[in-house]
Structure 1
Amino acid sequence: MKLTIERAALLKALGHVQAVVERRNTIPILSNVLINANGQHMRLTATDLDTEIVEEAPAHVERAGIVTAPAHTLYEIARKLPEGADVTLQMAGDDPRLQLSAGRSRFNLPALPAGDFPVMPTEDLATSFSLPAASFARLIDKTRFAISTEETRYYLNGIHLHAAERDGRKTLRAVATDGHRLALAETDLPSGAEGMPAVIVPRKPIQELRRLLEDVDDDIRVQVSEGKIRFELGAAVLTSKLIDGTFPDYERVIPRGNDKIMKVDRAPFAQAVDRVATISQEKSRSIKLTVSDSTLVLAVNNPESGTASEELHADYASDEIVIGFNARYLLDVAAQIAGDEAMFEFADSGSPTRVTDSGDPDAEYVLMPLRV
């Protein structure tokens, strides 16, 4: 095998695929990227057995071939090469090493047999639809912060993606929750997605997908089955196994009848929460909100660090309510508010609070209160 590729093209492709490779692997071949040179392209493939990323890059191929090489090492070399350099990759004769050269730089990297590289089995991905990359990026951004990291409740370790309907409008909905907060976002249901199964896409492929979406301006193609999901984004294809579990009935925990409504400017609110939370207890990060007569008071009382409070103007005309929240959760929600104003819907100090966005009616959040 012998090919020459521009450093920028190699770095971009490697940057996408190597991200899925774990730093520590008990199976050596999983530390490698599969390089397949054929025609006018070089195809790179990386996998952790659950997620696979394939990306093509234009290259001048002198001799077609297929080989594997250490993914992270190859990426670091490409990253440190000078801009504009032409990179040559080749395997010569019986030499079991991949030779990389660029300008006056020479590297010999250990290569493992391509036949040992695991290929993710294909299956019939019955549902297929396309939607703008920006729309899918928004669904991820609005919800991924609420994905649970608790491995015992594995069915919460991803984003629940499914077709839904609200007020007669059909939507593609993304939901994430960790039991303490919930995030929901939706967009118009794309053509072809009507019969898609409800799936749970794991956290890691969600992160990698979001990274890939940064370089895509056009539509992306999504294919779904009961066990797998595939995203085609320009020159890259990401395939992932789905979480085999049942997502909880999240509709039951979204309060629709909370009658105490507070509207507050998002930016000053987030800044005040951040300031007051400076002395909150590291474990609970609790902060107390007292809302009454157009006034919101944020307060923290930490026996070890002292006290803090800040008063803000709020649009509120109901009975006084005192309620506690995790400050980090408040900041996470505030960061997703697209409009200038956030609306909090309270019931009482012990019930879930619903938060909506003046700038995005297709997103909503639920926060469980803390005892303060």
Structure 2
Amino acid sequence: MELSFNREAMTEALQRIVGAAEKRLTMPILGNVRVRPDDTGGMRLETTDLELAWSAHAAGNIPAECDTTVSVRKLLDVVKAAPGESEIRASLDAERMSVGFGGSRFSLATLPGADFPDWEAGGIVAAVDVPQNRLRRLLEATMFSMAQQDVRYYLQGLLLVATGHTLRAVATDGHRLALAEIELDQAVDNRIERIVPRKAVAELKRNLTDDDQAVRIGFAEDQMVFELGSAILRSKVIEGRFPDYERVIPADLPATLVVEREVLKRALARVSIVASDKYRGVRMVLGPAGCQVMTHNADREEAQEAVEASYDGPEMEIGFNLGYLQDVLNVIETDSVRIGLRDGNSSILIQAEPPGGARYVVMPMRL
């Protein structure tokens, strides 16, 4: 059985879908890519780890009866090793795929395509189209606040909320919260919410471009479906009740600090030199003179920075996780940021200046 495909087209398709392949290989076939004919001509390539699945099209010649699987990472490495714009030929014989170009030949083990998990999404209850660049920005503005490891499994994902003409993304790890939203061209009839797992969010973001080509987002009963042209990402959703994030966002904050984003970023970067590796705490002292940031460590080393800022509240000291503040400043795009405060023991609200767009809540820490 003979196959042929272009190096560039196959490399692009395999690089898109490789992230869904299982690395631990609890089942050997989960480290493979399924190769079979596409309904529209060419090849259909599929990978999955049973929680997440990629499907992508690649141009090529493939027999109608072909249905096999081969290690996706090995096939990708072989294809990338071929000279640019090469036409690569492959043949299937018993339990092997032979791949060749120029004077190079590779023999890779295969498993039957019929044994590959067949996962199709169904029951789409709502779908919206979003430009890739806007969706990418939405993810970048929020995904850093997802929990890394937490027994509250629903925090290890990103909440997507579609309602009316708005698509909202919310992430929290219990100590900080990020909320951003974009406008939809078409309205969603009913409010719909799904928690997308961390790996699916990372895979989606990795494959989004900075152009305005549309992504179709499908909300199914227990899945999310993202269509990027001829490629489709499917993900199971996290079951559970996401925290009532709207109650977490503080309102009517009496004190306001307005500071240039880069100035504060550089100040935090400098004091981080002596910050404790374990606690990463920084103290902000606010008063008529503006803002000072300071930190110390177990060796009694200290760092202090005076930050030029506008502050209109009472004198106050408040401590934060240094990394949490830096993460927010890295995703806000305006020259200045506005920080709303109540007292030294309450959460703060960070926004762009002038206010608008994403909102970030950071809880204080005792130092």
Q: Same fold (TM over 0.5)?
A: yes
1:124 corresponds to which residue? 123
Aligned-residue offset at 1:188: 1.3
Please, which of 251, 254, 260 is the counterpart of residue 256 of structure 1?
A: 251
Aligned-residue offset at 1:187: 1.0
Q: Residues 318 and 364 of structure 2 are in contact (CA less than 8 Å); yes or no, is this contact kept in structure 1?
A: yes
1:137 corresponds to which residue? 136
Q: Hey, what's the Cα distance between the residues in 2 that align with 1:240 and 1:26? A: 19
% same residue = 35
Q: Residues 172 and 190 of structure 1 are in contact (CA less than 8 Å); yes or no, is this contact kept in structure 2?
A: no
Alignment of 1:345-356 (within 5 A): 345-356=340-351
The residue type paired with residue 162 of structure 1 is V
Q: 1:185 to 1:47 in 2, by over 3 A?
A: same
Alignment of 1:351-366 (within 5 A): 351-358=346-353, 361-366=356-361
Q: Residues 338 and 360 of structure 1 are in contact (CA less than 8 Å); yes or no, is this contact kept in structure 2?
A: no
2:60 corresponds to which residue? 59
Unpaired segments ≥5 residues, structure 1? none
1:298 corresponds to which residue? 293
Q: Residues 99 and 105 of structure 2 are in contact (CA less than 8 Å); yes or no, is this contact kept in structure 1?
A: yes
Q: How high is the TM-score relative to the length of structure 2?
A: 0.95
1:171 corresponds to which residue? 166
Q: Residues 34 and 45 of structure 1 are in contact (CA less than 8 Å); yes or no, is this contact kept in structure 2?
A: yes
Out of 49-58 and 190-199, give the one that drifted further: 190-199
The residue type paired with residue 3 of structure 1 is L
Q: Hey, what's the Cα distance between the residues in 1 that align with 2:126 and 2:56? A: 22
Q: 1:281 to 1:85 in 2, by over 3 A?
A: same
Please, which of 263, 279, 285 is the counterpart of residue 284 of structure 1?
A: 279
Q: Residues 67 and 114 of structure 2 are in contact (CA less than 8 Å); yes or no, is this contact kept in structure 1?
A: no
Q: How high is the TM-score relative to the length of structure 1?
A: 0.94
2:155 corresponds to which residue? 156
Matched, 1:235 2:233: no
SS in 1 for 2:189: coil
2:20 corresponds to which residue? 20
The residue type paired with residue 19 of structure 1 is G
Q: Hey, what's the Cα distance between the residues in 1 that align with 2:329 and 2:210? A: 26
Q: Hey, what's the Cα distance between the residues in 2 that align with 1:164 and 1:352? A: 27
CA RMSD of aligned residues (A): 1.7
Q: 1:353 to 1:162 in 2, by over 3 A?
A: same
Aligned-residue offset at 1:288: 0.6
Aligned-residue offset at 1:293: 1.6
SS in 2 for 1:297: strand
The residue type paired with residue 359 of structure 2 is E
Please, which of 232, 246, 258 is the counterpart of residue 241 of structure 2?
A: 246
The residue type paired with residue 99 of structure 2 is L
Q: Hey, what's the Cα distance between the residues in 2 that align with 1:344 and 1:333? A: 11
Q: Hey, what's the Cα distance between the residues in 1 that align with 2:67 and 2:215? A: 28
Aligned-residue offset at 1:317: 2.4
Aligned-residue offset at 1:260: 0.6
Aligned-residue offset at 1:224: 0.5
The residue type paired with residue 144 of structure 2 is F
SS in 2 for 1:198: strand
Q: 1:5 to 1:232 in 2, by over 3 A?
A: same
Q: 1:332 to 1:27 in 2, by over 3 A?
A: same
Alignment of 1:39-58 (within 5 A): 40-58=41-59
Q: Residues 90 and 98 of structure 2 are in contact (CA less than 8 Å); yes or no, is this contact kept in structure 1?
A: yes
Q: Hey, what's the Cα distance between the residues in 2 that align with 1:349 and 1:112? A: 61
Q: 1:294 to 1:285 in 2, by over 3 A?
A: same
Aligned-residue offset at 1:130: 0.9
Cα deviation 1:294-324 (Å, max 9, x = unaligned): 4211101213261011111001122111111
The residue type paired with residue 250 of structure 1 is Y
2:80 corresponds to which residue? 79
Q: Hey, what's the Cα distance between the residues in 1 that align with 2:27 and 2:298? A: 50
Q: 1:150 to 1:115 in 2, by over 3 A?
A: same
1:204 corresponds to which residue? 199
Q: Hey, what's the Cα distance between the residues in 1 that align with 2:114 and 2:355? A: 49
Q: 1:351 to 1:215 in 2, by over 3 A?
A: closer
Q: Hey, what's the Cα distance between the residues in 2 that align with 1:149 and 1:61? A: 42
Q: Hey, what's the Cα distance between the residues in 2 that align with 1:80 and 1:350? A: 57
Q: Residues 86 and 103 of structure 1 are in contact (CA less than 8 Å); yes or no, is this contact kept in structure 2?
A: no
The residue type paired with residue 30 of structure 2 is L
Aligned-residue offset at 1:8: 1.2
Aligned-residue offset at 1:71: 1.1
Matched, 1:97 2:96: yes
SS in 1 for 2:138: helix
SS in 2 for 1:124: coil
Q: Residues 320 and 364 of structure 2 are in contact (CA less than 8 Å); yes or no, is this contact kept in structure 1?
A: yes
Q: Hey, what's the Cα distance between the residues in 2 that align with 1:360 and 1:77? A: 51
